[in-house]
Amino acid sequence: MDDMHMQHDMSGMNDEDMHMDGMMHMGNLRRKLWVSIALTIPIILLTPMMGMKLPFQLTFPGSDWVVLALGTILFFYGGTPFFFGARDELKTRKPAMMSLITMGISVAYIYSLYAVLANNLLHVHPHVMDFFWELATLIVIMLLGHRIEMNAVMNAGSAVDSLAKLLPSVAHRVVNEQVQDVAISDLKVDDHVSVRAGEQIPADGTVVSGSTNVDEAMVTGEAKRIEKQIDDPVIGGSVNGDGTFEMIITGTGETGYLAKVMDLVSKAQQSKSAQENMADKVAGTLFYAALTVAVVAFITWLLVGNLALALSVAVTVLIIACPHALGLAIPLVIARSTAIAARHGLLIRNRDAMERVHTLKYALMDKTGTLTAGNFKVQNYGSYSDELNNQQILALLAGLEQGSSHPLAVGVLTAAKEASVTPAVISNVKQLTGAGLQGEWQAKLLQLVSATYLDGQNLTYDKDQFDKLASAGNSVSYLVLDGTVIGFVAQGDELKPAAKTMIESLRAQEIEPVMLTGDNLQTAQLVAKQLGITEVHAQLLPQDKEALVKQYQQTGAVMMIGDGVNDAPSLARADIGVAIGSGTDVAVDSADVVLVRSDPHDVVDFLNLARKTTSKMTQNLWWGAGYNILAIPLAAGILAPLGFMLDPMVGAVLMSLSTVIVAVNAMTLRVR
Q: What 3-state DSSP class applies to 365? A: strand
User: Is the same domain home to 411 and 464?
Assistant: yes
CATH number at residue 474: 3.40.1110.10
**Domain annotation covers residue 508:** yes
Q: Is pLDDT at 18 greater than 80 in this prediction?
A: no
d(C-alpha 243, C-alpha 31), whole Å: 56
- Using alpha carbons only, give the angle 464, 470, 476 rounded to the nearest 5 degrees: 95
**C-alpha dist (Å) from residue 215 to 247, 406, 458:** 16, 9, 33
User: Is the same domain home to 437 and 504?
Assistant: no
Please tell me the predicted confidence (pLDDT) of residue 488.
94
Please tell me the predicted confidence (pLDDT) of residue 489.
92
CATH number at residue 221: 2.70.150.10
Q: Is pLDDT at 21 greater than 50 in this prediction?
A: no
Please tell me the predicted confidence (pLDDT) of residue 421.
92
Please tell me the predicted confidence (pLDDT) of residue 538.
82
Closest to 195 in 3D by CA, of 158, 232, 152 = 232
**Domain annotation covers residue 267:** no
Please tell me the predicted confidence (pLDDT) of residue 265.
54
- Which of 425, 460, 495 delimits the end of a domain? 495
pLDDT category of residue 583 using cuts at 50, 70 and 90: low
pLDDT, tens digit, 9 for 90 and up, residues 512-556: 999 998 665 777 888 898 899 999 998 787 788 899 999 999 999
pLDDT, tens digit, 9 for 90 and up, residues 62-79: 888 999 999 999 999 988
Please tell me the predicted confidence (pLDDT) of residue 156.
35
| Stretch 407-429: mean pLDDT | 87
**Domain annotation covers residue 243:** yes
User: Is the same domain home to 413 and 352?
Assistant: no
Q: Is pLDDT at 401 greater than 50 in this prediction?
A: yes
User: Is the same domain home to 524 and 482?
Assistant: no
Q: Is pLDDT at 138 greater than 80 in this prediction?
A: no
End-to-end CA distance of the chain: 35
User: Is the same domain home to 420 and 473?
Assistant: yes
Please tell me the predicted confidence (pLDDT) of residue 586.
60
Share of the chain above pLDDT 70, in %: 78
The count of residues in the chain is 672
d(C-alpha 461, C-alpha 444), whole Å: 20
**Catalytic positions:** 366
User: Is the same domain home to 85 and 183?
Assistant: no
Please tell me the predicted confidence (pLDDT) of residue 25.
43
Please tell me the predicted confidence (pLDDT) of residue 54.
58
pLDDT, tens digit, 9 for 90 and up, residues 2-14: 333 333 333 333 4
Which strands, in side-by-side order, build the sheet including 512-516?
346-348, 593-595, 576-580, 557-562, 360-365, 512-516, 535-537
d(C-alpha 549, C-alpha 544), whole Å: 9
Which amino acid is present at 589? D
Max intra-chain CA distance, the chain: 116
- In the chain, the number of structural domains is 4
Using left for φ > 0, alpha for ψ between -120 and 50, and beta otherwise, residue 519 falls in beta
User: Is the same domain home to 394 and 427?
Assistant: yes
- Using alpha carbons only, give the angle 24, 659, 322 rounded to the nearest 5 degrees: 60
pLDDT category of residue 615 using cuts at 50, 70 and 90: confident
Please tell me the predicted confidence (pLDDT) of residue 31.
86
**What is the chain's mean pLDDT, rounded?**
79
pLDDT, tens digit, 9 for 90 and up, residues 301-333: 889 888 878 887 887 787 777 666 676 777 778
Main-chain phi, psi angles of 176, to 5 degrees: 55, 45
User: Is the same domain home to 146 and 43?
Assistant: yes
**Domain annotation covers residue 608:** no
Alpha helix stretches (DSSP H) within 233-362: 257-271, 278-304, 307-320, 324-343, 352-356
Three-state SS sequence of 201-254: CCCEEEEEECCEEEECHHHHCCCCEEEECCCCEECCCCEECCCCEEEEEEECCC
pLDDT, tens digit, 9 for 90 and up, residues 188-231: 889 999 998 888 888 889 999 988 888 766 555 555 577 888 88
Please tell me the predicted confidence (pLDDT) of residue 159.
47
- Whether cis (ω within 30° of 0) applies to the bond prior to 126 is yes
Please tell me the predicted confidence (pLDDT) of residue 134.
77
User: Is the same domain home to 24 and 123?
Assistant: yes
d(C-alpha 158, C-alpha 478), whole Å: 46
Q: Which residues pair with 179 in a beta bridge?
A: 174
User: Is the same domain home to 448 and 331?
Assistant: no
Domain that holds residue 120: 3-152+272-338+613-667
pLDDT, tens digit, 9 for 90 and up, residues 461-470: 998 888 888 7
Torsion of CA 20, 21, 22, 25, to 10 degrees: 70
**Domain annotation covers residue 521:** yes
Share of the chain above pLDDT 90, in %: 22
pTM over the 0.75 mark:
no
492, 474 Cβ separation under 8 angstroms: yes
